[in-house]
A and B are shown apart, each in its own frame.
Chain A
Amino acid sequence: MIENFRIPLGDWVEVGLEWITTSFEGFFNFIRTVLIGAYDGLDWVLNAPPFWAVILVFAAIAWWASGWKLGLGTVVGFTVIVGVDQWDNAMESLALVVIATVVAVAISVPLGIWAASSLRVSAIVRPIMDFMQTMPAMVYLVPALVMFRVGIVPGIVATIVFAMAPGVRFTELGIRGVDKEVVEAGHAFGSTPGRILRQIQLPLARPTIMAGVNQVIMLSLSMVVIAGMVGAGGLGRDVVASLTRLDAGLGFEAGIAVVILAIFLDRVTASFGRDRTLAGAKAA
């Protein structure tokens, strides 16, 4: 009896997936075109100029965001990437991470704001986010492949889905954490809810939201390698290649490039969330 018990969950998913793929083919093609366009454009911006010019720009950003130490570290780090001959791959991966992060933030922050405004929405959104984040990342690759065909797009889509959750969660947390009295003050002086969101809630929640964005970026980077399996290119391709060829050297070189990218992105975004206003929010 028990041997025959089997929930055909897999079959359902397959049927559902096929239905979605065929019914919304136009929609998926549209997304595919948009994402490919954005990716190619960004990739060109990063790869077309000489590498030293790009490094200088990154160093300038790091200096401006954090200080001369990070600026110097950026120059050293990216020179190492060039030195191990991973520059082109690193820029491809960076383009993928940036596109995925921008889309993930564009979806997750409004979703987080919505969840913060209503307990019911929050109760629905939260388990979905838990599901998306805990489901093994590679599982997303298959449906993404089916919907968007081999290439960079399934990699980006899988990355977006996987990396979105902290964006939603931190945004909700940040907005809920804004001093209730300050929000009340907005209401008490006759401000509209939209204005309160713009002038009070978002600015005060910014450090928390930026921490969420930082997490989104980190998760995106961790997906870069996995996305290499579906032909997303970049550093992931070399990591996957090193795995199949048992080439430890190549794997390490690509891996160290991922680490350097991660440190750069983490430090720069972290410093965006931290400034005078944070000190002010604490004191108030």
Chain B
Amino acid sequence: MAQRCVDGYHVSEAPQNASKQELDTQDGTGEQIALSVRNVYKVFGKRPAEVIKRLKAGKKREELSALGTAAVIDASFDVKKGEIFVVMGLSGSGKSTLIRTLNGLWAPTQGSVVVGGTDISKTSEKELRKVRQEKISMVFQHFALLPHRTVLENAAYALEIQGVAKADRTQRAEKVLSMVGLEGWGAKYPSELSGGMQQRVGLARALCAETDILLMDEAFSALDPLIRREMQEQLVVLQAELGKTIVFITHDLNEAMFLGDRIAVMRDGEIVQIGTPDEILTNPANDYVAAFVQDVDRTRVLTAGGVMEPPLAVVTISGGPRNALRTMRDLQVSAAFVVDRRRKYQGIVRDRDVMAQVEKGATDLAAVVRNGIEPVSPDTALNDLFGRAVESPIPLPVVDDDGRLVGALPRVTLLAALGNVPSTTGEFPVVEVAVAPIPEQVVTAALAQSEGATK
């Protein structure tokens, strides 16, 4: 009766495969690739080709430092349309070099980068400029605004390069400036603005270009933590509104986890793992990633859907009070979730109420269903659940967009998720014993009695 498989959210053994399956099921099959990177190498130094040859032969990059520095080693990934793809790594991991190959600021030493159907590693300078104007724009770590131009002129810069007439580009830039919360600042110069505001101008400039893809190179790293948080939230909102594809570079794991639909973790020029924040956190590919994710604030990353248990104590409304009471007796619980025939969540019932119904000989379970506990969505971050878990005497019901009960969140599961220990699944009744259930014999007696009465 319990639904064992909890969509794609359940922890799986093989993170890489799981990610593909999961995304397939989430997005359907028709998803489009915005950006495709295949076997990209970027080597600086005297003999780049030789370095690549030896890297392929299995040498480590430290052994080849005399020949050249391999900044990016064999990077391959696809970025889907409308996703925020985060590349995370410490300084020197090659992430800034990698992002610069995506718009051709650095030509890859080997490999291909396809942006919207154009392989920019093979195209002419002129063609490349066109791709940069129309398909891919960029936000920089230190804002990179033109200090001798006003905020408005900066925001309109991309349009100016595209050859848009002045009146038109001014109007469009003003619109985008108000979108990022800088209405009325157009006439100021960048030096008159705070760091956070300057980066809003940087963001406005990139948005104004109206490209599908946005590259963000440590875009929020130079900002104060509070401002950074605000900008991250605003970016998520803007992304949802505009549907941009974003490649975001950061060294801050919390930022990566907060923003990323998927995260690529880089180390020493190589991508060591690509996966959803959940996967990276719960199934790190190696010790390096594991050490890296140790400090992350798990409560912000993990979601109700990611850690929930299958709900066992579930009774159907059509089954009536007797069935419900029997289920609760068998599982030794004092309460159960109630669903309708289509598994839509209705509320909870308590054993005492149900027993009273049974003793009265009533057949309507709906009369004793309580609605005191608001169900939670699978996307809710754990951070937002602790308060409610404390207040709720029984596990929190997790309900999908269609209102169907898909899982339950006992307090012990929340705790287990924080410690990254696997919480028990399946064998235990998921409804906790917050209130001691009515002793089994009493229930059995009541059931027998009611059976006698109905006869």
Scan A249-284; emit 1 where CB is below 8 A from any B CB, else 0.
000000000000000000000000000110111111
Interface contact B148-A188, CB-CB below 8 Å: no
6 residue pairs bridging A and B, Cβ less than 8 Å apart: A181-B142, A181-B143, A182-B146, A188-B132, A189-B133, A284-B143
Q: How far is the CA of A200 from the CA of B140 in the complex (A)?
A: 16
Q: How far is the CA of A182 from the CA of B141 in the complex (A)?
A: 11
Contacts beyond the supplied A280-B189, A284-B145: 5 A-B pairs with Cβ under 8 Å: A184-B105, A185-B145, A189-B133, A191-B129, A281-B148
Closest beta carbon of chain B to A115's beta carbon, Å: 22
Interface contact B146-A200, CB-CB below 8 Å: yes
Closest 8 CB pairs of A and B: A280-B147, A190-B133, A283-B191, A190-B132, A181-B144, A185-B144, A188-B138, A280-B191
Say whether B158 faces chain A, with CB atoms less than 8 Å apart. yes
Point out the residues of chain A lying under 8 angstroms from B191, CB to CB.
Answer: 279-280, 282-284
Interface contact A190-B162, CB-CB below 8 Å: yes
Q: Which of A185, A190, A195, A204 contacts B140 (CB 8 A)?
A: A185
In B138-160, the 8 Å CB interface with A consists of 138, 140-148, 157-158
Interface contact B190-A199, CB-CB below 8 Å: no
A189 and B189 in contact (CB under 8 A), knowing A182-B145, A277-B147, A280-B147? no
Closest beta carbon of chain A to B108's beta carbon, Å: 16
Of the listed residues B130, B141, B144, B161, the one surrounded by the most CB atoms of chain A closer than 10 A to its CB is B144
Point out the residues of chain B lying under 8 angstroms from A279, CB to CB.
Answer: 191
Interface size bracket, A side: 20 to 34
Seen from chain A, the residues whose Cβ lies within 8 Å of a Cβ on chain B are 179, 181-182, 184-185, 187-192, 195, 199-200, 203-204, 276-277, 279-284
Say whether B103 faces chain A, with CB atoms less than 8 Å apart. yes
A188 and B137 in contact (CB under 8 A), knowing A179-B144, A181-B144, A284-B145? yes
Interface contact B142-A179, CB-CB below 8 Å: yes
Closest beta carbon of chain B to A177's beta carbon, Å: 13
Point out the residues of chain A lying under 8 angstroms from B142, CB to CB.
Answer: 179, 181, 284
Closest beta carbon of chain B to A250's beta carbon, Å: 48
Point out the residues of chain A lying under 8 angstroms from B144, CB to CB.
Answer: 179, 181-182, 184-185, 284
Q: How far is the CA of A185 from the CA of B331 in the complex (A)?
A: 64
Closest beta carbon of chain B to A204's beta carbon, Å: 7
Point out the residues of chain A lying under 8 angstroms from B158, CB to CB.
Answer: 189-190
Q: How far is the CA of A192 from the CA of B133 in the complex (A)?
A: 11
Interface contact A283-B132, CB-CB below 8 Å: no
Of the listed residues A182, A189, A195, A284, the one surrounded by the most CB atoms of chain B closer than 10 A to its CB is A189
Say whether B209 faces chain A, with CB atoms less than 8 Å apart. yes
Closest beta carbon of chain B to A186's beta carbon, Å: 8
Closest beta carbon of chain A to B308's beta carbon, Å: 43
Closest beta carbon of chain A to B223's beta carbon, Å: 15
Point out the residues of chain A lying under 8 angstroms from B134, CB to CB.
Answer: 190
Q: How far is the CA of A190 from the CA of B163 in the complex (A)?
A: 11
Point out the residues of chain B lying under 8 angstroms from A281, CB to CB.
Answer: 147-148
Scan B112-139; emit 1 where CB is below 8 A from any A CB, else 0.
0000000000000000011111100110
Point out the residues of chain A lying under 8 angstroms from B162, CB to CB.
Answer: 190
Point out the residues of chain A lying under 8 angstroms from B209, CB to CB.
Answer: 189
Interface contact A195-B161, CB-CB below 8 Å: yes
